[in-house]
Structure 1
Amino acid sequence: MFSLLGLPEEILLLIFSYLDSQALGRLGQVCRRLHHFAGKDAAWRRIARGCINSGFTQQGADTVFGISVKERVKVSQNWRKGRCSRGTLLKWKCNLMPWIQLDGERLYISQAKDIRAYQLRSDNNGLHRRPVAIFSAHQDDVCRFVLTNSHIISGGGDGKIGLHKVHSSGSLQFSAHDQDVNCIDCQGGVIVSGSRDRTAKVWSFSLGRLGQCLHTIQTEDRVWSVAISPLLSSFVTGTACCRHISPLRIWNLESGQLMTCLGTDFLRGAGVLDVFYETPFTLLSCGYDTYIRYWDLRTSTRKCVMEWEEPHDSALYCMQSDGNYMIASGSSYYGVVRLWDKRVKNCLHFYSLPSPTSSPVYSLRFSTKCLYAALASALHVLDFTSTDLQIRS
């Protein structure tokens, strides 16, 4: 008589990989051996790749470690259905324009002139109130910063770029622009900065040439956002769109020459506040014109391939993608965070985060478990692993 349990392990897992979550759940209740196989990552990968924020990219690469794929599929259902707990992690007295980054179990947030690193708690996704490190290199507020493996690179309102070693107190700075350094990115031994002074600059981040300016690009408009291509061949600038120039332009990283402009029908004032590459050929942008736009450079540079409109006509200050189907965006009024599925036109869910006054969501970041959003006077968390979590402010 044929026995399912008599099949080789690899054949059994192959069969399981074609089942849906309901069938896998039922099989897992039959016996211990089937329960063991029904919980393996290989059985859940196909399902997870179709879920939002499950840790898989469009190409199928798994970017999350330490959490089973089955557990991520379960949490993904909470993201899709909007089930989460809310909490306030930090408050401060004066209004700021904070920027945040996540790196494993640490959250980094700019607060005025400093960047503070906080350790996240493993029990309830809160954070330890005392920062594990404070990085200072500016005489004015930090505008934005990025993380590399060993450094934090920051741009400040003092026109300077700060370089901070993540695991030590060492910091240095150098003069970069005549006005605020609004945005910054760093990859592959180069730094790109953009400023209110209507220039973008490329800097060396290699040993022996640290801080050397390689190119100065006259953008003829204030630069609000920059992003370096994963291929390290080009970078994109998002500008204020105060003139008859496309706010999205791609430049050659080696020569500094203009390669192409994206779009043809931007309205005056439709500045791009956030932009980033998902892949070497696709990027997302958002800004004052209330749209998230998805660009595929392989198909067209004149028109985006998809777009999603903020329904309350609010500017979009920031966004993040899971590299697959989900986008989270932060709006300019009432602390509104929205979750989007690229496969549908309307947003999945929105959350209005509490604030003493109407505040933009200046920055947001999410993991497979939580979303963190920084408003003018507080840092908030939406926890999608538990619906009864309470975090005291």
Structure 2
Amino acid sequence: MGPHFLQLPEEILLLVLSYLDGRALGRLGQVCRKLRYFSCRDAVWRRIARRCLNSGFVRQGTDVASGIPVKERVRVSQNWKNGRCRRDILLKWKRNLMPWLQVDGDVLYFTQAEEIRAHQLHGHRHGLHKRPFAVFLGHQEDVCRFVITDSHIISGGGDGKIALHNLHSTASIQFTAHEQDVNCVDCHGGIIVSGSRDRTARVWSLSSTADKRWLHTIQTEDRVWSVAINPLLSSFVTGTACCHHTSPLRIWDLQSGQLMNCLGTEFRRGAGVLDVCYETPSILLSCGYDTYIRCWDLRTSLRRCVNEWEEPHDSALYCIQSDGNNMIASGSSYYGVIRLWDKRMNRCLQSFSLSSPTSSPVYCLRFNTSHLYAVLATSLHRLDFTVYRNQFTAL
């Protein structure tokens, strides 16, 4: 490499380096201090990072993990791809429960029967505080699902109630929402959608819940296991138990409560949908008892399934999460099996079994760019993907 190369303007030098792969950048960074400085810049790693698993870049090109060097995210992404991680059991309890989990920044929330507990997360050496710094109460029976907004936790319970918990004061209000268990809730833009075992879904306004009035009641004719609100606030989807001949995935207009569309036609009886999530306003992911993860494209009138991934051991899938780009993580119904999927491949990329010898479903999982958290019947687990070094160590 001639000396004139280092005399190029900085923007030209960064552009040239952005066309190199990770291995070449690693070697180039060992030539001299100046090249080491340039080879570590975020600008030269972004193109690589967008193709990686769980690097913080979502499909629209948005960076959701700003503040973390892109080169470091690419290094950790290699650990996700190769299944290199450290496994920890953060908490254990004696009763068999069906916990739900959310992670908001450096706080982890999860359910313990009728309670929602908030624990402070720390670095990979310490995990989390064993003692919760806040406990949210309001249900007489187990909490089934909950979601977090900027100011509230909205939870649904086996007592048929919805509870609104203030994040900053732990004060809460509760109201009867359904005649049976509230299996699922979602909240977006001040709108709450709840689904129940009583075969109805209801739409609520967060600002008018004090009078306990719902905006719409949807008769689904089947138990509702999962709901998700479209990010554009135009519609929402319900996932039902599929005990009848209608599709378990249906899209409803959020303003009128009218049925807009049914997704799929070839679901077998009992193939209920246990979890749904929007990647974008037009891309929906679903999973459930039929052992498949399905990706739905809602941009056309057909609203068809454009891809699907089958759980290799024929287990029901209880939960899924996407990185918004190339990776999906799923939780299976037996032996706490978590699988990582690259959407560009047909087969499972990596799998981890968290419970042995006692079998338990993965009731919920959540991940960020460095860690994955999962709750089983009697334990809370963490997979730490930051601890193994690879070919980028020298950068």
TM-score class, shorter-chain normalisation, is: over 0.9
Partner of 1:274: 275
Partner of 1:144: 145
Q: Please tell me whether residue 8 in structure 1 is matched to residue 9 in structure 2.
A: yes
- Where 1:266 maps in the other structure, the secondary structure is coil
**Does the 8 A contact of 1:264 with 1:302 survive in 2?**
no
> How far has the Cα of 1:354 moved from its partner?
2.1
Q: Distance in 2 between matches of 1:43 and 1:211?
A: 54
Partner of 1:252: 253
Cα 1:79–1:265 shift into 2, 3 Å? same
Partner of 1:172: 173
Partner of 1:215: 216
Partner of 2:289: 288
Q: Distance in 2 between matches of 1:57 and 1:172?
A: 36
Q: Distance in 1 between matches of 2:172 and 2:318?
A: 29
- Where 1:249 maps in the other structure, the secondary structure is strand
Cα 1:29–1:185 shift into 2, 3 Å? same
**Does the 8 A contact of 2:179 with 2:198 survive in 1?**
yes
- Where 2:122 maps in the other structure, the secondary structure is coil
- Where 1:270 maps in the other structure, the secondary structure is coil
Partner of 2:341: 340
Amino acid at match of 2:193: V
Partner of 2:125: 124
Q: Distance in 2 between matches of 1:144 and 1:86?
A: 25
Cα 1:173–1:384 shift into 2, 3 Å? same
The one-character-per-residue Cα deviations of 1:245-291 (angstroms, maximum 9, x if unpaired) are 10000000000000000001000000000001000000000000000
Cα 1:340–1:81 shift into 2, 3 Å? same
Greater Cα shift, 156-165 or 355-364? 355-364
Partner of 2:327: 326
Q: How does 1:1-393 map to 2 (within 5 A)?
A: 3-124=4-125, 126-206=127-207, 211-299=212-300, 301=302, 303-355=304-356, 357-387=358-388
**Does the 8 A contact of 2:296 with 2:307 survive in 1?**
yes
Q: Distance in 1 between matches of 2:207 and 2:33?
A: 55
Q: Distance in 1 between matches of 2:209 and 2:96?
A: 39
Q: Distance in 2 between matches of 1:374 and 1:38?
A: 39
Q: Distance in 2 between matches of 1:51 and 1:100?
A: 26
> How far has the Cα of 1:230 moved from its partner?
0.6
- Where 2:207 maps in the other structure, the secondary structure is coil
> How far has the Cα of 1:302 moved from its partner?
5.7
**Aligned pairs, how many?**
388
The one-character-per-residue Cα deviations of 1:9-47 (angstroms, maximum 9, x if unpaired) are 222211111111111112211222221111111110000
Q: Distance in 2 between matches of 1:210 and 1:30?
A: 69
Q: Distance in 1 between matches of 2:382 and 2:238?
A: 30
TM-score (normalised: structure 2): 0.95
Q: Distance in 1 between matches of 2:322 and 2:358?
A: 28
In structure 1, the gaps of 5 or more residues are 389-393
The one-character-per-residue Cα deviations of 1:292-332 (angstroms, maximum 9, x if unpaired) are 00001124646310000001111000010000010010001
Q: Distance in 2 between matches of 1:9 and 1:314?
A: 53
Amino acid at match of 2:349: L
**Does the 8 A contact of 1:185 with 1:228 survive in 2?**
yes
> How far has the Cα of 1:60 moved from its partner?
1.3
In structure 2, the gaps of 5 or more residues are 390-395
- Where 1:186 maps in the other structure, the secondary structure is strand
Q: Distance in 1 between matches of 2:35 and 2:22?
A: 14
Cα 1:281–1:385 shift into 2, 3 Å? same
**Does the 8 A contact of 2:109 with 2:119 survive in 1?**
yes
**Does the 8 A contact of 2:85 with 2:386 survive in 1?**
yes
- Where 1:66 maps in the other structure, the secondary structure is coil
> How far has the Cα of 1:358 moved from its partner?
1.1
Amino acid at match of 1:314: S
- Where 1:23 maps in the other structure, the secondary structure is helix
**Does the 8 A contact of 1:295 with 1:301 survive in 2?**
no
TM-score (normalised: structure 1): 0.96
Cα 1:210–1:101 shift into 2, 3 Å? farther
Q: Distance in 1 between matches of 2:9 and 2:137?
A: 58
Amino acid at match of 2:90: L
Cα 1:308–1:132 shift into 2, 3 Å? same
- Where 2:16 maps in the other structure, the secondary structure is helix
Q: Distance in 2 between matches of 1:282 and 1:366?
A: 20
Identity of aligned residues (%): 72
Q: Distance in 1 between matches of 2:340 and 2:369?
A: 13
Partner of 1:391: none
> How far has the Cα of 1:132 moved from its partner?
1.4
Amino acid at match of 2:335: Y
Greater Cα shift, 236-245 or 345-354? 345-354
